[in-house]
A and B are shown apart, each in its own frame.
Chain A
Amino acid sequence: MSQRIASTTAAAGAIRKRQRTLAESQTFFAWILLIPTMIVVAIVGLVPLIQTFYLSLTDARLASITPAEFVGFENYAFLLQDTQFYRTIGNTIFFTVITVGFEFILGLVIAMVINSNFRGRGLMRAAMLIPWAIPTVVSAQMWKWMYNDVYGVINDLLVRQIGILDSNVAFIATNTTVSLVSIAAVDIWKTTPFVALLLLAGLQVISGDVYEAASVDGANPIQKFLYITLPLLRPAILVTLIFRTLDSLRVFDVFFVMFGQRSDTQTMAIYAQQNLVDFSDLGYGSAVSIAIFFIIAIFVVLYVTFLNVEES
């Protein structure tokens, strides 16, 4: 009797020990899988971020002979009163809201269309991705040429071919709002395929049987979309919105090609670059970059909170 109890406790102990080693080996394995990625992320991302934060607390200048001095939060105090920086925040957020909004809605529509069953969808799926494959430097230059107020094809289309405009418009040359909307259109044209691709992959992971069951239960297409597609697509939606918002908030090349250093349409990233490189002001440019990092963080926290995907 007592022997049996002893043996069961011994067995239980062995099992517990085995579970512990299993958990340990799983942790060990997880670290093996994660370590290469984490090393890369630390070296190419986190270390530069910390260095930049340190620089933002100094008055360092590019290629300067005098050593940089520690100035505390002076750069940040100046940043808070910098009207041009506020203007770049406004421009960038305006651009982000328009592009992410349109790209998400259009991308979802395209993803649903090419997810359905019809002839020629394979070709359509490949063709719709082409704008995304064109290097931004080229596509921005091409659109700049198409927007041209003298020989641009868009003016030709709207004025001569369709006739909804009376005379040629300088889309990207004068008015700030018109310029920002025009450049947003370029980004929407180029990046909607990317959004559609991410959402299409999300739709594909959803099983057809789920819809079938809903049809049997008498759900109409709108109900199916609202109560099946959208909830099951949530993880893909989160990826899409985070990727797109991050890229829009850091937008650089399309603005640089189309507007150069024009100040009324400047974005946050161009302002940071201007301070870092053109003004050689490493300290202040770093402060601007850190501020961009935190503005982006606000958006990411909002998305992760509202699209709460961690519940599972």
Chain B
Amino acid sequence: MAQKETTAPLYTTTRSRVQFWQRRNMLPTLLSYAGMLCILVVIGLPIYWMIIASLKTNQEIYTIPPTWFPRELTFANYPEAWSAAPFGRYYLNSMLTTVIGSGFEIFFAVTSAYALVFLRFPRKQVIFIILLAALMIPPEITIVPNYITVARLGWVNTYQGIMITGIAIAYGTFLLRQYFLTLPREVIEAAKVDGAGHLQTLWYIVLPIAQPALVTMALISIVYKWNEFLWPLIVTNTTDMRTLPIGIFWLLDQEGVTNWGVVMAGTLFVIAPIVVIFIWAQKYIVEGIAAGAVKE
């Protein structure tokens, strides 16, 4: 009932958005800034600590009390980290497996979620319960059987072996299904009445309206693939096939206790591409056309 009341005004566009913003006073804006400042400090302190650690000399890192500003700036940790392992090759491997692996994951999650939300077919509920059950499986029991499967396919130490999707596909499907459920059904019905087929409805109606959810799902998939450690470690056995997290772990293992600055420098260049993706992707999360699509 509440649902009905709230979705109905979607279609009446009598009042313009301008009035809405004008009616707001400055207080919420100020509160937003204050809140943001607190969040930034809490999130930022450890990151600040990480960055300055990568710029400190080794003795300075272990001085007591710790220094909040490096007394002596050094950039030596960066080339040292880069040459400690074949990071160029790791970059290439990580990029290839993340882009292709996430691409498949996103594609299949989108098609599966579309079927689960917008198509009528028997035993839909059973499929949903199987997906939920897949989400609940403890990962430690899947590693060995999955390795055996990949070995049978002859995919050990190959890119397809690294990027073969795991349970992540169930995560993506579940996530998109939940967001697709909130889309205004009337728009999809209208598209059908206009004679749009399922693929057209999916491509031209559902995906643009669900853009925030789609981008979010893509980001999650990319970050998980990029940072995946245990699976690529098990499924590869030569240095030229390894990925960035393995390189970082190797640094941590070799230098962790004695040479923290190098580890931090290495971590920074591993997360740099992800941060660039965040900066690029965030505007697509908030530039959804939910309101506009329904108005027209």
In the complex the two chains form, what is the Cα distance from A272 to B143 in whole Å? Answer: 13
CA gap between A117 and B26 in the complex, in Å: 11
Q: Which of B36, B144, B227 has the most CB of A within 10 A?
A: B36
Binary interface profile of B, 143-169, with partner A (CB < 8 Å = 1, else 0)? 011100100000000000000011101
Q: Could you tell me if A231 and B111 are in contact, using CB atoms closer than 8 angstroms?
A: no
Chain A residues 103-133 with CB under 8 Å of chain B are: 109-110, 113-118, 121-133
B141 in the interface (beta carbon within 8 A):
yes
Is the C-beta of A12 less than 8 angstroms from some C-beta in chain B?
A: no
B40-A124 in contact (CB<8A): yes
Q: Are B181 and A208 in contact (CB under 8 A)?
A: no
**A118 neighbours in B (Cβ, 8 Å):** 29, 32-33
Please tell me if B142 contacts chain A, counting CB pairs below 8 Å.
yes
Per-residue 0/1 for B235-257: is the Cβ within 8 Å of any A Cβ (1 yes, 0 no)? Answer: 00000000001001100100010
A37 touches B137 (CB 8 A): no
**Cα–Cα, bound, A26→B260 (Å):** 58
**A271 shortest CB reach to chain B, Å:** 10
Q: A205 touching B179 by the CB < 8 A rule?
A: yes
The answer to whether the Cβ of A46 comes within 8 Å of any Cβ in the partner chain is yes
Q: Tell me the nearest residue of chain B to A40, going by C-beta.
A: B169
How far is A48 from B140 in the complex, measured between Cα atoms in Å? Answer: 10
CA distance A302 to B242 in the complex (A): 41
Q: Determine which of A34, A205, A216, A293 lies in contact with B138 in the assembled complex, contact meaning CB atoms within 8 Å.
A: A293
User: In the complex the two chains form, is B275's CB within 8 Å of A126's CB?
Assistant: yes
Residues of A with C-beta under 8 A to B132 = 300, 304
Q: Is the CB of B46 within 8 A of A207?
A: no
Instruction: List the count of A-B residue pairs having beta carbons below 8 Å apart.
Output: 303
Known: A127-B43, A146-B49, A153-B66. A212 touches B15 (CB 8 A): yes
Query: How many angstroms from the CA of A41 to the CA of B119 in the assembled complex?
Result: 20
Contacts of A132 in B (CB 8 A): 223
B198 on interface, CB distance cutoff 8 Å:
yes
Residues of B within 8 A of A52 (CB): 141
Q: Is A68 an interface residue (CB 8 A)?
A: no
Q: Is the CB of A125 within 8 A of B285?
A: yes
B201-229 vs A: 1/0 string, CB under 8 Å? Answer: 00000000110110110011001000101
Residue of B nearest to A48 (CB): B145
24 sampled A-B residue pairs with Cβ under 8 A: A30-B115, A30-B124, A34-B111, A44-B142, A44-B166, A45-B170, A48-B146, A113-B36, A126-B275, A128-B39, A134-B271, A135-B245, A142-B46, A151-B63, A189-B42, A198-B216, A200-B285, A209-B9, A227-B2, A239-B179, A293-B138, A296-B136, A300-B135, A312-B181
**Chain B residues engaging chain A, CB cutoff 8 angstroms:** 2-3, 6-7, 9-10, 12-13, 15, 17, 20-21, 23, 28-29, 32-33, 35-36, 39-40, 42-44, 46-47, 49-50, 62-66, 108-109, 111-112, 114-116, 119-122, 124, 127, 130-142, 144-146, 149, 165-167, 169-171, 173-175, 178-179, 181-183, 198, 209-210, 212-213, 215-216, 219-220, 223, 227, 229, 245, 248-249, 252, 256, 260, 263-264, 267, 270-271, 274-275, 278-279, 282-283, 285-286, 288, 290-291, 294
Given contacts A38-B130, A126-B282, A200-B212, 15 further A-B contacts (CB under 8 A): A34-B115, A37-B109, A40-B169, A41-B130, A44-B167, A45-B142, A113-B36, A114-B36, A135-B227, A135-B271, A198-B175, A198-B216, A208-B20, A211-B20, A235-B178
